[in-house]
Every structure is written in C-alpha cells, then in structure tokens.
Amino acid sequence: MLELNAVQSGYGETQVLHGLTLEAKQGRVLAILGRNGAGKSTTLKTIMGLLPVKSGQIAFDGKPIPARPFDVARTGIAYVPETRDIFPSLSVRENLEIAASRFGAEGADWTMERVLDLFPRLGERLDNGGTQLSGGEQQMLAIARALLMNPRLLILDEPTEGLAPIIVKLIHDKLQELKAEGLSMILVEQNFGFATSLADDVVVVSKGQVVWTGSAEAIKADETAQHTWLGV
C-alpha cells in the first residue's frame, strides 16, 4: 500500500534518513520502533510531504506520492503528529467541522456522528476550547479529526505519549476497533507493549535506516533485538 524505497531526507543540510526502506500493507498495522532520535518522526514527516525527499521513492498504491502535504492528505493518508496540533482557539466542534468540511464527502464512512460514537467524551466537550482539554482528550480529538478525513491509511506519531495508563488503555481499545474494521495504520511508539499488541508488522529504525523487520510476534520473542535496538 505504502512503500518507501531507499529514502533520504532530513532538515536542511542535516541528513537524518540514510536510505530507509519499508512497506506498510493494506489492512494491516505497521509499528515503527526505535530509540530517541532514530528518525521515526522524520520518516512520518517525509511521507506527509512536510520534509522533502532528497533521494529514493515513496509510492502509495503503486503511484509516486505527491510532494505537498495537502495533496498527500487528499490521496487518503491522515496524520496525527506527536504535537497533536489541535487549533487552540477553536472549540472541539469547530476543530472537527474543519476536518469534515475539507475532506468529508457525501456518503463518506466517517461522519461527525460516528466519531462522537467512537469517542463519546468528545461529545460532552463540543463547546470547550482546544486548550481546555486534557492530554487524553486532545489525543482523542486529533484522532477523530484524522478519521473525518476518511483516510485509507492512518498514521500516528506516539499517540500514548504523556497519557495516564487508563487513557492509554482507552486509545489502545479504539485503535484495536479501527484495526478490526480493516483500517490500515502506521504507528510510531516508544511504548513497546502498546505497539506490539496492536501491530501485525514491525520495523525497527536506527540512525535513519531500518535495522530489523518482522512480525510483532517475532520481535516479542526476540530479546536480543529488543535489547540491541530498543533498550527494552
């Protein structure tokens, strides 16, 4: 579904990805794991067109991915950044309406009603401003907003970061529901248990390259890989 082939990218003169190759498959969850600074977020930003591809290729459904973020989103890839990027001066309702109006088509899978069904908590907070939300509510809003874009691929950067265990569990269960419905996902996580319980496939990134590829089951059983690449 999404293929990166020998991708090089970075920030200005600083190269971070040194020929990164991976594949996210249709209907599956791919976890991208790796230590701090390995290049996980840089990989996602490059996919989304927020950083330019210096060399190599990125293909979505066999076609070269567009260069600009808006066009990438239009091809059906939704991205929940580490920073969540809620509009702080807008209410929950307005944050959701913007996403729905930009990408929600007539007869689309994801409607306002359906995302509020998934996250009833947001329904209670519709008139609250973005800044009045807890970290967990912000994460729910960020995911809800991404779903309203009716993506075929949902990309999440550390969705559990800074959240209390009970909220981590809730986010886990919601992502599990989305997975059960067949939504394809790429998940970047520091939380090894969370990532490997949701993922089908795993790649480990170190210094801007993929150093391990296999199934979630395989990495759970491979203590050497965990120790070498993740410090678990």
Residues near Mg ion, by CB under 5 A: 40-41
Strand order in the sheet with 14-24: 14-24, 2-11, 55-60, 63-64
Q: Which one of 35-43, 105-113, 128-136, 170-178 is the stretch in contact with ligand ATP (CB under 6 A)?
A: 35-43
Selection from 35, 114, 111, 43 nearest residue 79 by Cα:
43
Among 2, 40, 86, 216, binds ligand ATP (CB under 6 A): 40
Q: Which one of 32-40, 66-74, 86-94, 221-229 is the stretch in contact with ligand ATP (CB under 6 A)?
A: 32-40
Among 30, 33, 34, 225, binds ligand ATP (CB under 6 A): 34
Within the chain, where are the H helices? 40-47, 69-74, 92-103, 112-118, 120-124, 135-147, 165-180, 192-198, 216-221, 223-225
Residue 13 is a binding residue for ligand ATP (CB under 6 A) = no
* Residue closer to ligand ATP, measured from CB, 13 or 173: 13
Identify residues 166-225 at the interface with ligand ATP (CB under 6 A): 190
Residue 84 is a binding residue for ligand ATP (CB under 6 A) = no
| Cα separations in angstroms, 166 against 11, 121, 207, 229 | 36, 14, 33, 28
Q: Which residues bind ligand ATP (CB under 6 A)?
A: 11, 14, 16, 34, 36-42, 190
